[in-house]
Structure 1
Amino acid sequence: MNEIPPLDRNAIRPGGFWRVEVVPEAGSTNTELIARSREGAPEGSVLVTEHQTAGKGRLGRGFTTPPRVALTFSLLIRPEVPAEQLGWVSPLMGLAAVAAVRGTTGLDTRLKWPNDLLVAETKLAGILAEADFSDPSHPAIVVGMGLNVSQTRDELPVETATSLRAEGAHTLRETLLVAVLEEFERRYTTWKGDPGAIADEYRDVCVTIGRRVRVHLPGGTFLDGTATGVDDQARLLVAGRALSAGDVVHVRPGE
C-alpha cells in the first residue's frame, strides 16, 4: 500500500459551505466530529482521515481499514427540519455517493436499505449517521462513510465486499470526496425546503424495494415479507410494518 499517495489537500476544494480538515489518523471520524459538534463546530465541518483505526458501523459494529485505501470521512449538519424527517440523513449521503461514484467512474451503484452502497450485490461503502442532542433546540447530525477505493479483491475483508479497484474503476480519493460533498449539499438544500423531495430519487436506486427479505429484529425475532417501499420518513415497509434503521439488526434476502 505504500505506493498510494496521501490525499492532496490542495485538490479538495468543494463549493458551498464545507470546511474540510484532513488528519493522518483517527479512531472514528464520527466520534471525533460529534465531540467537536458538542464544542460548537459549525455546520459544514468535514473530517477526513487517511487511516481510520476504530471505524463504527450500525449497532456498535467496528471495522478497520489499512492506510490510504479507502475514503473515510464524516460531515456535520444542523438541519432545521421536523424530528421525524431526520431518518433521511443517511439516505441523503447514500444518494450523494451513488451520484458521485457514477459520475466519476461510471459504475452502476445502488443502495441497500438502510445504509449500504452496492455494486451489483457487493458492498462498496457503508454509511452511519449519529445525532448530537447536546443542544436540544438545534440538534446536529454527523454522518460518516467509508468507501473502499484501492483494495484488491484479496485485500477485502469478506467476499461480499468490493472496491473501486476491484471493479476496474479508478478515481482519485480527492475527486471522489469533492463530488460526494457537492452532491450531498445539492440534495441537502432541496430536502431542507421540502423534506419529501428526495424520496422518489431514493426509491429509484434502492434495490431492497420489491424484494423478499428477512428482517432480523432486536431480541432474536424475525420478520419475513416483501419490502414494498420506503415511506416519507425513510422507513422500510415490510409486512404492514414501517421499520426505521434503529428498529433492525440486519435485512437479509428472504426465501
Structure 2
Amino acid sequence: MDIGLQERTVIVTGASGGVGRHIATAFAAEGANVVLTYRSGRDEAQKVADEIGDRALVVRYDQADPGAAEALVAAAVEATGRVDVLVNNAVAWGDMVPFDTVPDEEWTALVRGNVEGAIRLTRAVTPLMRAAGWGRLVHLSSSLVTDGVAGGEYYTAAKAALHGFSRSVAFSLGRDGDLLSNVALLGLTRTATNTHVVEQVGKIYEERSPLGRLIDAAEVASAVVWLGSGANTAVNGQVIGVTGGA
C-alpha cells in the first residue's frame, strides 16, 4: 500500500538509537529519504544509515545550539532538495532528583533545549512545507506529561509545552495546504536502550495495559510513520496516545 512517502524527505532527530532508529528505518521502508540526526552517537547513527542505504543522510544536530536547526535543514535541502516531514524526537533528560534542588542553570537549559530546539526546527522547515503545499510535523512526547513522575518536572514541562505549540501550529498551517501537526504521546516503550528501566518498572506498566504487555519501538514507529504520511489527511492538531492503552 502506497502511503505517499515515496521520494519525500524526512528529518528524524535523535535517530541514533531507541525509538528514533526504528522511526528512521520505517520511513525508509516506505521509500522516503531519511535525514538521521545525532548529538554524540555518530557511530550508532551511521549504523542505522548503513542499514537504510543510499536513502540515508547522517547529520550532527544539537537541539540546544541556536544555529543547529538552520544548518540541519540546509544539509537536508542540499542533499535532497526538499523537506517534507519532520519528526521531533531528540530529547534531553534531567536527573531524577527533587526538582527544587536542581540549579537554575541546569533546569533552565533542560527546558529551553527541549522546547526551543523543537520550535526552532519546526520554524526552519515550515517555509519549505508552505511552498510545497504539503508537510507533516510529528512531535514526540511522553505519557509522563499526564501521569506525572517525581523528578521529571522539567522534562514534562517541556513536553507539555510542545502540546500547545503543535495545536496552534496546526491552525497556523491548516489553510496553507496539506500541512498537519500532531503529537505522538508515548508510554514506556521497550527499546534496545532502555532495558534497565524496563527491568525496574516494566511489570507495573504491563499490568496497567489492556494488552498486558509493553509495546516496542517498531510498533511506535508504525504509528509515527502513519501520522507523517500521505495516508493521514484528517488527524491534525491532536495528541495521539501510542501507549498500547496503558
Do Structure 1 and Structure 2 share a fold, with TM-score over 0.5?
no
Taking structure 2 as the reference length, the TM-score comes to 0.32
More helix by share: 2
Taking structure 1 as the reference length, the TM-score comes to 0.31
Greater RCO, CA 8 A, separation 6+:
2
More strand by share: 1
